Structure 1
Amino acid sequence: MNNDKKKLELDVRERDTQLETLKNSTGDVEAMKKQIETLQTENKTKDEAHAAELKQLRVDAAVDAAISAAKGKNATAIKALLKDLDKAEFTDDGKIKGLEEQLQSIIKSDDYLFDTTTKKTQIKGAKPGETGKEDPDGKVDITKMSYEELAAYMAENPDAEL
């Protein structure tokens, strides 16, 4: 968009200089009329070219947004499969008519170009609210433990009451 602004400013300055040269030139009226006509046609073609560039920018932005919303993996490959983008017409909300339908058909035919899987996040490790001990409130039955098991239990739980 910055480049477009600079280009427009350059076009305006160019037109101003054209008008100044017309004001300063003295001579034949017919030659001046002819020069004015040529300048007008040049300006008209420049305006048309600029309008086409702006439309192409809008189309590219709308297509990129639609591909991103559809979770496209390779925008260049997806754009190659889209048809008639040069004849694109915009809806009131700034989207291209028929683009969603084309994308849906591409998703059906070439689903590898899109991320259609839904990933469920699984948390591993400690769970919130758990202490990590098997039964923190319950008493351990030491009568069923061997001496080695009792020694290991006491080493792990020095504050345990027997």
Structure 2
Amino acid sequence: MDWLKELLKNAGLDESKVDALVGDVNKELPKHFVPKTQYNDVVEARKKAEKEVTDRDKQLADLKDAAKGNEDLQAQIKKLQDENKTAKEKYEAELKDLQLTTALKLALSGEVHDPDIVASLLDKSKIEIGEDGSIKTGLEDQVKGLRESKAFLFVEKTEDKSPKFKGATPADGAKGGGDPQPKTLGDAIAAHFNNGGNT
């Protein structure tokens, strides 16, 4: 979100307001927009599916041409069915792994220094993904265990540790009810001479 910070600074907002606004945007944006990585994953999956459909159409056209000999046809049909089944299973496994990896990176971003390293340490078979692409179960327990055993992988959460001062504010210019303190050197010299040099 560096680009957003830059735009807001150029618009004349001060640093604290920019940080607060970017924080709010980071919280609300996922509710209304699909992350670019998830969009790219869907586009890539669609391209793969379209290519597979084209390949299968070509295979069926080739099959029609080969339909002249019955035994050859049966063997070729069996071979194509097996290849298509294997290709479909491979595609579904790759798509599921891609969705899981993307969901893990999104869930871990901001909490860890390197989401790829942390994701490689997780048992992906225990993690379930919802229909919306978010992680349903299996991540929190594993992250909690990693946070305890390998805390250096995680970003420390910073809290406002500045001291909070309580109490009364002293009155300006007076010490213990006596004469007010001079504010400038000229006032100090004038007070010195007005008191006969006794200050």
TM-score by length of 1: 0.66
Matched-pair contact (CA < 8 Å) for 1:72–1:115: yes
Structure 2 residue aligned with 1:60, among 101, 107, 116? Answer: 101
Tell me which residue corresponds to 1:79.
119
How far is the alpha carbon of 1:77 from its aligned partner?
Answer: 2.6
Shift of the 52–107 alpha-carbon distance from structure 1 to 2, 3 Å rule, reads same
How far is the alpha carbon of 1:51 from its aligned partner?
Answer: 0.4
Q: How many residues in Structure 1 have an aligned counterpart in Structure 2?
A: 132
How far is the alpha carbon of 1:56 from its aligned partner?
Answer: 0.3
Runs of 4+ in 1 over 3 A off after TM superposition: 91-94, 144-148
Gap regions ≥5 residues in structure 1: 123-133, 136-140, 152-162
* Structure 2 residue identity aligned to 1:118: T
Q: Deviations over 1:75-128 (max 9, x none)?
A: 23322332x21x245255741532110101111122221123324297xxxxxx
* Structure 1 residue identity aligned to 2:117: A
* Structure 2 residue identity aligned to 1:97: T
Paired with 1:112 and 1:147, the residues of 2 have a C-alpha distance of: 54
Tell me which residue corresponds to 1:41.
82
Bigger-Rg structure (1/2): 1
Matches of residues 9-158 of structure 1 in structure 2 within 5 Å? Answer: 9-68=50-109, 71-82=111-122, 84-85=123-124, 87-90=125-128, 92=130, 94-95=134-135, 97-120=137-160, 148-150=185-187
Paired with 2:185 and 2:158, the residues of 1 have a C-alpha distance of: 50
SS at match of 2:68: coil
Please provide the CA RMSD for this pair.
3.1
Matched-pair contact (CA < 8 Å) for 1:89–1:96: yes
Paired with 1:26 and 1:49, the residues of 2 have a C-alpha distance of: 28
Identity %: 31
* Structure 1 residue identity aligned to 2:137: K
Matched-pair contact (CA < 8 Å) for 1:88–1:96: no
